[in-house]
Each structure stands twice: as structure tokens, then as C-alpha cells.
Amino acid sequence: MSNFYKRIKLFIWINGIASWIFYPLLKIKDFRNKKYPECYVKEISKPISVNLSNYFFNGSAYWKNFKNLKSDGLFFAEIPNATIISKGILLDSKNRVILESTIFQTEYLNRLNSNHLVFLKGFLPKKKGANVVSLLNKLDNNYFHWTLESLTRVLLIHEEPFFRDYKILIKDGALPFVKKSLKFLFNVPETNIITKTLGEKLEVKKALVVSFPHIRNVNTRMTNVYMPSVIKRLNELAHKRVNAAKLKFERLPKNFIISRKNAISRRILNEEKLIESLSYLNFEQVVLEELSFEEQVVLFVGAEKIISSHGAGITNIIYAHDPILIEIFPEERSIRDAYYFVQITGALEIEHHLFKHKTQNKKEDMVIGNTMIATFKKIFEASI
């Protein structure tokens, strides 16, 4: 290991130790567990029930035992004279950490290794702003979490009269889908999107905190459980945008395999054979990263039959109408990862078949055998 990387590793270690030492000194403001006057409740707590009637999986699924789950309600709160540091830690004028800004959990606050910066923020380079909605957090560059936890929060406020008075704060160097999705779904112009680096502090006149529309606790076995009503609303909005813009991409197929041929893991190694076996159903290969965000939305709005190995691309099923989804899941992988897409298909009442499959290597690549291909055919032919 070069001296450069050794120094980087040492810096990260020291940063983590410093953050751990300062954690007990933090003052934390938690809107979920205490009522505050500045907190406006948009929707009170309600039962969360995921419809599994169209979900088919022969294996053990612990989420089938979830009972009596309730949301924490939906809310937003305006924080005057706020400061934003690190990757989204929001501080009020009394230097209290607004816990909702770190995915409402001290676990995610501590993962940022920035607790010491709460007290040392005076040494950070300063930027100033007016009114800001921060979408920065530990998971904001992940397509699934961006969709289910950032776009859904904007969904909760985009029709409010004050929405256009706020700039949206995103990660400096964010992937293209971040800005594209904000523009397409919520008509947010690029001039209303701002960034900051990890090492900067942003001081603003007002910061708007919007609740994450999911729960995660011992009752959910520390699994994120999302509100079906919010998933449905995002789906409806996407369809509305597609129809309003009269978007049609004639080259996009109705039946397709989400290809991971450019990925480094969970590839279907005999993908060409699978496509050939399903050619009579007009199956095609689709590489999602080669499509624009708008094209991906339109692709899934018009989808009828989809096959995919487990991966972030399935997140786009949130924009679908009524397809059949076959998801191939590496049997060596933790089954808890499968639940995230189950919630989307359950909320939208989409037929979803999950098959566990033995992988070929540590990269979780798979070869689909003739027996499984025959099963796929039966599922699709039954819908014709």
C-alpha cells in the first residue's frame, strides 16, 4: 500500500474516532418522537399493509409475518437560521441536530463520521443560501434510495404554494438521474438546484425538513417499510407527466430483459440464450444505463413482461402500469434485500415472481437453465 493510501486510511480512522468521541455531546431534535410547534403534520399515523396477493415466492419470506405496522405520519418543518454540514446534517440555530435530516436514525448520523464537525463547524468553508430543501444523506447516490426516499419527499411538498421559494440541495457531483428526475417529475429547473461539497457548511435563512415516508424499527426487523400510498402517488404522477408530454419512444420494447452486461455483478451469463428462447414473445435486451431517465420511465409505463436479476434497475417498476415481473435472486444473498421491490409491486398490485438461483461466482453471476426458462414461459403464456 502506497504512503498516500496509508495516509487516507489513517485520516478516515482518526475522523471516525473523533466523531465517536463527540457523539455523547450532541443535542438531537427528533420530530418523530416528540411534538414541536414548527412541525406541520400532513398525514397522521396509519396502518401499513403490503398486498402480497400477486407475489409468488416458494421460499421463506420473513416479511409475510409483519403485522400491525403503523407509519410515523408525514410532516414537514421549517427551520430558521439553519446550517447544513457534511452529507446533510442539519443544525438549527441552537446547534441541535435535526435527526430527520439523517434518515431519522442515529445509526445513519454516526455513519457520516461527522459528529465532531457539529462543534467545529466554525472552521469549515462557508456558503450562504436563502431557502433550502436538503436531499443530502448517506444513501442519496443510490438509485433505489433516491427514488423511494428523496423523490417521495419532494412528492409530499411539490404542490405546496411555498415549494418554488425553495432551492433543492443535492450532492456535489451527483449522478445524472438526480437532476433529470427532479426536472421531469416536479418541473424543477436547474437554476433551483444547488450543491455543496462535503467539506463546506451551508448557512441558510430557512431549511425545510420533510419526513422520510418509511419506518425502520425492531417491528420491521430493521428493514425499511415504505408507505404504499406514497408509492402509488409517485406512480400516478409519473403517468401524468408521460401523458402530458405525450412521450413515446417507438423503439422501446414491451417485453424485455434488464441486462446487467455492463455491470460487475449479478449478470445473466447466458442472457443471449434466454432472449432467443423467448423470441416468440418478442423479448429484447435493455441496458438501462444507456437510456435517459425519461426513456426509462416510458419503458416501464409501457412494459408488459419483464425479467431481471436482482438490481437497482428494478426500482423503475414504480413507474409501471400492469406488467409481469420475474426477478432472479442470488440464493447466497440475504433475502432481506428482496423485500424492497416486493413493497413496490405490492403497492401497485403488480404480478411479481421471485426465484432464488445458485450463483456461479463471488460476483453473483448466474446461468439460467432450461427448466427455469420453461417455467418463465409458462408464466408468460398464462397471461396471453
Q: Which residues 6+ apart lie within 8 Å of 171 measured at CB?
A: 87, 136, 140, 141, 178, 195
Whole-number pLDDT of residue 161: 94
**DSSP for 307-376, written as a single string:** EEESSGGGGGGGG-SS-EEEEEEETTS-GGGGHHHHHHHHHHT-EEEEEEE--SSTT--B---HHHHHHH
Kindly report, residue by residue over 95-110, the tens digit of the pLDDT: 999 999 999 999 999 9
Q: What is the pLDDT of residues 15-25, one digit of tens each?
A: 889 999 999 99
Q: 298 falls in which pLDDT band (50, 70, 90)?
A: very high
Report d(CA 93, CA 69) in Å as an integer: 35
In this predicted structure, what is the pLDDT of residue 307? 98
Query: What are the cell numbers at 30?
Result: 427528533
Q: What is the pTM of this model?
A: 0.94
Report d(CA 176, CA 99) in Å as an integer. Answer: 28
Mean pLDDT over all residues of the chain? 94
Taking 90 as the threshold, does the pLDDT of residue 81 lie above it?
yes
State yes or no: pLDDT of 196 exceeds 90: yes
pLDDT reported for residue 4: 67
Nearest to 26 by CA among 127, 124, 94, 101: 94
- Could you tell me if 341 and 352 are in contact, meaning their C-beta atoms sit under 8 angstroms apart? yes
First to last CA, the chain: 58
pLDDT at 226: 97
Give the domain ranges of the chain. Answer: 18-47+73-230, 247-381
Domain formed by 247-381, architecture: 3-Layer(aba) Sandwich (3.40)
- In the chain, how many H helices and how many E strands? 11, 19
